[in-house]
Structure 1
């Protein structure tokens, strides 16, 4: 089964931090064969701060966890958390 990060985020409030995160994320994504899978439509029904949903697909749950634990990602994550508020879960599934 595949692994997924599902990220629920607020609006981006620091665009410079978001851009730097994107720059750092690119080689990390390549290393772990991560692919962004943004939903086509988003309807937020029961939420307080979520304005964006991002789904990141990995070939396996183990790779999803390893990517999160990678020191390079941990450094990049600081910028992501500066750019916006977010919550993330890691799941094992086959979302198609």
Structure 2
């Protein structure tokens, strides 16, 4: 089964409030098997644009990724992120097929 992913690009305008989001989102991610693959590390924009913070969270499935977003646990802390930042977040289904040779 293909995994699910959240890919987010975030500009933060209130770091103190955003910190409440970061400190509170762990239980939702843990409940749905989410784990960070990228969490605001170094990056280089080689084409196009991005925001100041980039995040990739991997889930066991696309369904788990969607369920996490819609869960009461996540929605309870989302208010901190939306109050403190502007974000683009997409939930993707991973690719589990053949790779180019």
Aligned partner of 1:85 in structure 2 is 86
CA offsets per residue over residues 32-58 of structure 1, 9 Å max, x none? 1110111765222322x6122100000
In the TM superposition, residue 60 of structure 1 has moved relative to its aligned partner by 0.4
Q: Where in structure 1 are there 5+ consecutive unaligned residues? A: none
In the TM superposition, residue 20 of structure 1 has moved relative to its aligned partner by 1.0
In the TM superposition, residue 75 of structure 1 has moved relative to its aligned partner by 2.1
Aligned partner of 2:68 in structure 1 is 67
Tell me, in whole angstroms, the C-alpha distance in 1 between the residues paired with 2:20 and 2:43.
26
Tell me, in whole angstroms, the C-alpha distance in 2 between the residues paired with 1:83 and 1:34.
22
Aligned partner of 1:15 in structure 2 is 15
Aligned partner of 1:29 in structure 2 is 29
The TM-score normalised by the length of structure 1 is: 0.84
RMSD: 2.0
Q: Where in structure 2 are there 5+ consecutive unaligned residues? A: 97-101
For the pair shown, which has the larger CA radius of gyration, 1 or 2? 2
Moved over 6 A (4+): none
Per the alignment, in what secondary structure is the counterpart of residue 38 of structure 1?
strand
